Amino acid sequence: MPETNRTRSSQDAVLPRGVTDPLLWRSAYDVAEAHRPDDAGRCSSLLCAGRPAPCGPSEAARRAMRLAGDADRRAERGEPDARVAARRRRAA
């Protein structure tokens, strides 16, 4: 059976200060990333079939991120510590 390790964008995102539900925040972050608008302003997810952005799943994800904790801080992209990110991938 082939190995299918998938890395989600939330694994490398730094949780904002004040997040009280990391699982909810990371799940919502992944949905928001999957439903980002393209250059034409339409949702890039195949599930939305080119609907205008922001789509329903994107709005729900943003709301879930706010409910998970501090809405004033945004995730910093990139890997703050490459060893931590690599360890998370191996554990997944």
- Model confidence over 17-29: pLDDT tens digits? 889 999 999 999 9
Confidence band for 79, pLDDT divided at 50, 70 and 90: very low
The amino acid present at 51, given as its one-letter code, is R
In this prediction the pTM is: 0.65
16, 70 contact by CB (below 8 A): yes
3-state SS assignment for residue 57: helix
Query: Among 32, 10, 31, which residue's Cα sits nearest to residue 22?
Result: 10
* Residue range 23-37: mean pLDDT, rounded: 93
Roughly what angle, to the nearest 10 degrees, separates helices 56-67 and 22-34?
A: 160
Query: Among 35, 25, 74, 37, which residue's Cα sits nearest to residue 58?
Result: 35
Kindly tell me if the per-residue pLDDT of 5 is higher than 70.
no
